[in-house]
Amino acid sequence: MTPYFEFANPTKLCSGAGAVDNLGYELEILGVHNPLLLSDAVLEKIGTLSLVIKALQGRKIGRIFTDVPRDSSVETVNEAAAQYRAYGCDGIVAVGGGSVLDTAKGVRLLISQTCEDLLELMGCECLPAGKRVPFVAIPTTAGTGSEATAVAVIRNTEKNIKMEYISQQLMPDVAVLDARMTMTLPPRVTASTGMDTLCHAIEAYSCLQKNPLSDAYAAKAVELVRENLLHATRFGHWKEARLAMANASFLAGAAFSNSMVGVVHAIGHALGGVCHIAHGDAMNILLPAGMRFNRKVCKAEYAQLLLYLAGPEVYLKTPEQRRADRAIAEVVHLRKKLNRLTGLPLTLKETGADPAKFPEVAAAALNDGAVIVNPRQVTYEAVIRILEYCYEERGDDHGRH
């Protein structure tokens, strides 16, 4: 076991059918009477946001800000914070996917630190508590786990880089998980974001900073993904499956926020930056190859994960020596099914990634913080081998990396 570890998850979870209807009560407890409601134009258009507005009927909403783009930026955060101040808001309600939730985290940081430009807070690790800014997160995807993490990723448009802000102060006071919020997600997005959740859980369970608490969260997340991702993808209106996936996302987020991720995320972040591949798609493509790369040093962890990836019957029937390989095979099998259902890409070639850029991707991956805690040392050559393998191979064979 890790000789020393820390685990923090101060976020109150409200999960269930109709959980959003309790939002007014939660705001009352937090002392919020004039919230800034953050969301995006798509959620406004398809009516997801109106469910939240309806839940706040009879209560004052200081300002509704729906100008959050797909990849939030410093400018967006600064503008939303300016509106928070201009409209005298006293708390934040964020309704959206990772981009909206991360924007809300940025706004909270600016208001609490009485600062007008997020760039001024770049690289600050130990910020003072500052002004209290109550924050409720209502995720509308089941993937990033941002509602349970101390991390915000914000784009620096000037330098064309994604900046990571990490602080306990970024964790929401309340996360509301309601199946109605993810019901309209198309199958392809459900599958892609679900594989991001699975990847958070598997990497949190096998990275160097794993600990007993993050393990418990990660293991349960894997089990919920196994039981519900295919149902949620195939039958979008299956409330139980949607709610279970929202819980899996929260659990996996809390797990990796308190341990870390690994080589799959390091390469995935780099592929996103250099080749603009959607994060969940990259996770889906890279996961089996990343697991095979790490297998040699975390055979025991993968063997344990088989119980959650395949259930007790398969786990007990599989000889101990073969459990790690079987766990990887279960991931490969799930990917195949999702590919058949939604066309979720299995190779980098299908995404249009240019192999000529792989050296640039590998260099960026080695600069990613996640490689430091990957259980096996990651080299430039290893990343290139993984990228080349994932370019054309569909991950079915058991080749080593």
- Residue of 122, 52, 136, 40 whose CA lies nearest to 90: 136
Q: At a CB cut-off of 8 Å and minimum separation 6, what does 99 contact? A: 40, 68, 69, 70, 71, 72
Binding part of the chain for Fe ion, among 120-128, 188-196, 317-325, 381-389 by CB under 5 A, reads: 188-196
Name the residue nearer to Fe ion (CB basis): 176 or 252. 252
Task: Tell me whether residue 83 or residue 374 sits nearer to Fe ion (CB atom).
Answer: 374
- What lies within 8 Å, CB to CB, of 323 at 6+ separation is 302, 303, 304, 306, 315
DSSP string, 325-374: HHHHHHHHHHHHHHHHHH----SHHHHT--GGGHHHHHHHHHTSGGGGGS
Q: Using CB under 5 A, which of the segments 26-34, 190-198, 246-254, 385-393 binds Fe ion?
A: 190-198
Least distance in angstroms from the C-beta of 277 to Fe ion: 12
Least separation, in Å, of the C-beta of 195 and Fe ion?
Answer: 9
Using the rule CB under 5 A, give the single segment among 127-135, 191-199, 300-308, 314-322 that binds Fe ion: 191-199
Instruction: Tell me the per-residue interface mask from 11 to 50 with Fe ion, x by CB under 5 A, - otherwise.
Output: ----------------------------------------
| 147 part of the interface to Fe ion, by CB under 5 A | no
Q: Does 203 bind Fe ion (CB under 5 A)?
A: no
Residue with the two structure tokens 């839940």: 55
- Radius of gyration over every alpha carbon of the chain, rounded to an integer in angstroms: 20
CB of 318 to Fe ion, least distance (A): 28
Q: Minimum distance from CB of 146 to Fe ion (Å)? A: 10
Structure tokens at 87: 């409209």
Examine residue 196 and tell whether it contacts Fe ion (CB under 5 A).
yes
Q: Which residues of 129-162 are buried (b: 16+ CB within 10 A; e: fewer)?
A: eeeebbbbbbbbbbbbbbbbbbbbbbbeeeeeeb
Smallest distance, Fe ion to C-beta of residue 18, A: 29
Between 147 and 196, name the residue whose CB sits nearer to Fe ion.
196
Q: In whole angstroms, how close is the CB of 199 to Fe ion at the nearest point?
A: 6
Pairing of strands 174-177, 63-65: unpaired
Stretch that binds Fe ion, among 168-176, 192-200, 201-209, 233-241 (CB under 5 A): 192-200
Q: Cα(281)–Cα(286) distance, rounded to whole angstroms?
A: 9
Q: CB of 224: closest distance to Fe ion in angstroms? A: 16
Contacting positions for Fe ion (CB under 5 A): 196
